[in-house]
Amino acid sequence: MNSFFGFLKKEFFHIFRDRRTMLILFGLPVVQLLLFGYAIRNEIEEVKIAILDRSNDYVSQEIINKLLSTGYFVPIKNLTTNDEIDAAFRSGHINEVIVFEANFAHNLFKEGRATIQIITDGSDPNVSRVVEGYTKTVIQDYQESLSENSGQMLRIEPELKMMFNPELKSVYLFVPGLMALILMLVSALMTSITITREKEFGTMEILLVSPLKPYQIILGKTIPYLILSFINVLTIIILAQFIFGVPCNGSILLLLAESLLYIVTALSLGIMISTIADSQQTAMMISLAGLLLPTVMLSGFIFPITSMPMPLQIISNIMPAKWYLIIVRSIMLKGVGIEAFWQETLVLASMTLILMIVSVKKFKIRLQ
């Protein structure tokens, strides 16, 4: 029995001496708990709205004031015609448009009913449903209060419409998100492993003494994955369109070009991981723990970024998937051009440049 306790004591010391094991045992659960606890939220902290008030009477103004007084709704602009609604959504700056019919107050008190149109951005169905729910709740509260004060049974009937996704298909949400996730994991994970494999097998030394320059070694390692990942993009787009019925309303060439940029970003990230990791196992752990969870949680794939605490919103800005997701949704669902997401494209290009410079620099250091 003493020998068993001695063995047990040795195992405890072995665990406590290994920093990586301690980090996985105690650090990872804390990070996951904080990340899940703060990121998994269905509440929307900020709903950007536009108003089209054809009536402009005191009832419509009271409803608008009641919406704004909740603190959730932020007025972005006032519209004057229906033609402006589509452009407002395609700009990507608003989540909802509220349309009051003409003679709203007159219809409400004369006929006992009036309609209000609630139009939301269906490119993110989860957010749209929550925004609709908020708006309907505020309108219903106002309707009950008005009926009680006037002594009449008044009905304000909301007409719901979801732009870009009228049938509320959840695949419209998941296909762009899965594109970002699959391309990031395949490109970054495979690239990081293939270079660290050379280190483990000792074949990297052969490459280092060969006539090949460092940038040629990096290009030779990444170009095959660039081509294979691009084939993955084509496969995903074909499956999305013909199996799941997700349309590509914008330019397919623009979508492919933006996907190519995202793949290069992911490959650059993979190369950088390979310069840090000294084994395939470490590279795989960094890729999976450092990319899989943050890409799912902090890219806006499932949970709205605007509802997260400010520190997580700031961290989300360094996730390439966040910017690619905005671009893919804009092209496939909204059908807009580069003028609507040139800033996101510029962010991805800047990330790629920085990652490539860091990777090549660190790779050169290893040569010396």
Domain layout of the chain by residue ranges: 1-40+169-362, 45-149
What's the chain's average pLDDT?
83
Is-contact 363 273, C-beta < 8 A?
A: no
Is-contact 260 187, C-beta < 8 A?
A: no
**Which of the two residues, 348 and 127, has the higher pLDDT score?**
348
pTM of the model: 0.76
Q: Which of 282, 278, 322, 275 is nearest to 298 (CA)?
A: 322
pLDDT at residue 42, as a whole number = 64
Tell how many helices (H) and how many strands (E) occur in the chain: 17, 5
In 1-19, which positions are buried (b, 16+ CB within 10 angstroms) versus exposed (e)?
eeeeeeeeeeeeeeeeeee
In the 8-state DSSP scheme, what is residue 91? T
pLDDT bin (cut points 50, 70, 90) of residue 357 is confident
Token duo for residue 124: 């993110």
Distance CA 313, CA 300 (A): 10
pLDDT at 262 over 90: yes
Distance CA 151, CA 156 (A): 15
Task: State whether residue 248 is helix, strand or coil.
Answer: coil
pLDDT at residue 346, as a whole number = 94
pLDDT at residue 359, as a whole number = 78
Name, in order, each residue with C-beta under 8 angstroms of 214's C-beta and a sequence gap of 6 or more. Answer: 360, 363, 364, 367
Is-contact 252 237, C-beta < 8 A?
A: yes
For the ranges 46-55, 205-214, 293-302, 352-361, the lowest mean pLDDT is seen at: 205-214
Kindly state the percentage of the chain with pLDDT values over 90.
14
Mean pLDDT of 275-291: 76
Question: Phi and psi of 71, rounded to 5°?
Answer: 90, -10
Q: Which fold has domain 45-149?
A: abc type-2 transporter like fold (3.40.1710)
Token duo for residue 181: 């996730």
pLDDT at residue 290, as a whole number = 72
pLDDT bin (cut points 50, 70, 90) of residue 368 is very low
